[in-house]
Chain A
Amino acid sequence: MAPTESKRNQLLTRLRTLYEGLGYTRFSMRRFEEYGLYLENKSFLKSENVLTFTNPDGKLMALKPDVTLSIVKHARKERQGIERVYYQESVYSYSALSREVAEIEQMGIEAMGDVDGYVVSEVVRLAVESLSIIGLPYVLDISHMGFTAGLLLSAGLTPEQQAETLSLIRRKSAHELEAYLQSQRVDPDSAERIIQLTRLAGPFAQVFSAALALSANEQTDTALAELKAVFDTLEAAGAADELRLDLSMLNELDYYNGIVFQGYVQGAPRAVLSGGRYDLLMRRFGKEADGIGFAVYLDELSRSLSDHRALDADVLVLYHDEDDISQLHQAVFKLAAQNLRVITRKGEIAPELKVGKTMCFENGTLKEDR
């Protein structure tokens, strides 16, 4: 067994190399921000449980629950060129159930400025590459907020109805959606299109034609054309095999306006990567520029990346006081040089250790025990 760097550090290094290779530079920031930043953008956050404290001036501060908001706040104002950054930062959340503060490491990238078709394809490709680096079977679900927004628009829903409808679409709850839209007297044709959204998921090439049939207006047409363009680019590059179209996958309508995506790996029960295009978030901060990016949730990967081993060591070496130290020293380091994990112990037994095999040091040589 090679004494390797932990799987987690390996992953972080490879992700950093990937992002730096495409011109993304590291963005570092403070651990805290003014609480107002999060209060105004509550629905952008994954969880509403923000940790706050008061600074000596009486200002309410928050341990940052999210990185994107801080980066967007510092982004250039003008829509010119592309500012590419990546981050590896701790974010903090509060679990109401365990009454504990959790510190979670997050890695991600943001591209801000004049986001064109190429930049979109670059960021989606980096999401695919990030998932593939994890080394487990994966899928990247891709969707477009413009498609959903377009369908909701053509159905003429009020903001309140939109919120309820979106939450039902996210749950793929066709039966509840049907009952709800009926109770709100949405016209049957629009309702049917929205209900079909929940069933529209699968390998991109297979599902796309069904999506075309649902298109209701110019906005939904544009959204689908954008999705197709990204898919075609990635397919030509041989990177689209694990791309799935899932139009029920949605982010917040207030912040995201274009392509959105979520990555899953086998063995992790929740999404491990999430991102999308957030021009509307940029506008909220008074920026002319567009933005797109994603975060990798390292906490969701912690079980898959665990270095937990079944054994404490490969070899346990037992020795006694009267043994020759120099000979013992050489024997132990010889084993370690063979890429074996060795533990030494003075005495006859070490019942609390789980080891591959036990060796006894006797008369200057190692003998296998029993």
Chain B
Amino acid sequence: MFTIALPKGRLVDKVCKLFEASGLDCGGVQTDDRRLVAYSADGSIRYLQVKPSDVAIYVERGAADVGICGKDTLLEGENDVYELLDLGFGKCRMCVAAPVGFREDLTAPLRVATKYPGIAKAYYAGKSREIDIIKLNGSIELAPILGLSDVIVDLVETGTTLKQNNLEVTETVLSISARLIANKASMKFKTAEIERLTQALRKEGASV
């Protein structure tokens, strides 16, 4: 049995399309699927649908042999896995955003609201800027509006949410896309399966 962890949500349809194009049976995994586990028709592949930020943990701990997740969750989790491919979809940017017209007060620590404390910390440490991290789990855009924070560090896809809340991107931290990751032990014991998958996805990756 070969287990693949997929990120529940917006990426699932794209991943399945890519898998089908690569000749893998996705076992009818769909975005609106309530089943957490699905099997390919011949039963050789098991698909798990888990929270995107959990994919890397499933793979690191060997509950899944490979997984697909965003670079953002990989950087944040610092999981001990192999990162085999950049799949080239699910593209967005990790950005710093602030209220339109924001002027930074350099005499005080910058208050940063984010879902990604690890990434934010590393980014500002690289600039030697002292910050105060406010870890939130959602509606990050609200923080600067209420004065809870000065800026936010978050994923930006189209920028619509920012605009609606009168925020704008001030800096780009890094570019994000979906990655194929693999468990280190699986890589030794299921080498052929993982290599086949990597090859197939590499071939199809560019066209999706």
Contact = CB atoms under 8 A, between A and B. Distances in A.
A28 B160 CA distance: 63
A76 B158 CA distance: 64
Interface string A187-208: 0000000000000011000000
B25 interface: no
Interface of B: 60-62, 80-86, 183-189, 191
A50 interface: no
A363 to B, nearest CB: 52
Contacts of A141: 188
Contact of B191 (A137, A174, A202): A202
A175 interface: yes
A228 B95 CA distance: 49
A172 B82 contact: yes
Contacts of B83: 171-173, 176
Interface in A136-184: 137, 139, 141, 171-176
B183 to A, nearest CB: 6
Contacts of B187: 172, 201
Contacts of B185: 264-266, 268-271
Nearest to A202: B191
A266 B189 CA distance: 7
A174 B198 CA distance: 12
A268 B188 CA distance: 11
Contacts of B191: 201-202
Contacts of B184: 264, 269-271
A240 to B, nearest CB: 16
A84 interface: no
Contacts, number: 45
A304 B83 CA distance: 26
A264 B188 contact: yes
A244 interface: yes
Helix, strand, loop or mixed for chain B's interface? Answer: mixed
B84 A172 contact: yes
Q: What 7 A-B pairs have minimum CB-CB distances, sorted nearest first?
A: A269-B62, A173-B83, A175-B86, A172-B82, A139-B188, A264-B185, A171-B83
Interface string A229-270: 000000000000000100000000000000000001110111
Nearest to B181: A171
A268 B189 CA distance: 11
Contacts of A265: 185
Contacts of B61: 269
B188 A269 contact: no
Given A244-B188, A269-B184, A270-B62, 5 more contacts: A139-B189, A172-B83, A176-B83, A268-B62, A269-B183
B165 to A, nearest CB: 33
B189 A264 contact: yes
A261 to B, nearest CB: 13
13 contacts: A171-B83, A172-B83, A172-B84, A172-B187, A173-B84, A175-B86, A264-B189, A268-B185, A269-B60, A269-B61, A269-B183, A269-B186, A271-B184
A175 B60 CA distance: 20
A186 to B, nearest CB: 19
Contacts of A172: 82-84, 187
Contacts of A269: 60-62, 183-186
Nearest to A203: B191
A289 to B, nearest CB: 32
Contacts of A174: 84
Nearest to A248: B82
Contacts of B189: 137, 139, 264, 266
B86 A270 contact: no
B187 to A, nearest CB: 8
A176 B86 contact: yes
Contacts of A176: 83, 86
A251 to B, nearest CB: 14
B81 A171 contact: yes
A171 B82 CA distance: 4
A52 B157 CA distance: 45
B65 to A, nearest CB: 10
A171 B74 CA distance: 11
B127 to A, nearest CB: 16
A254 B28 CA distance: 50
B51 to A, nearest CB: 17
Contacts of A268: 62, 185
Nearest to A139: B188
Contacts of B186: 269
A206 B122 CA distance: 41
B115 to A, nearest CB: 17
Interface in A118-143: 137, 139, 141
A201 B187 CA distance: 10
A174 B180 CA distance: 12
Nearest to B185: A264
A171 to B, nearest CB: 5
A171 B187 CA distance: 12
B188 A270 contact: no
A271 B185 CA distance: 7
A183 to B, nearest CB: 13
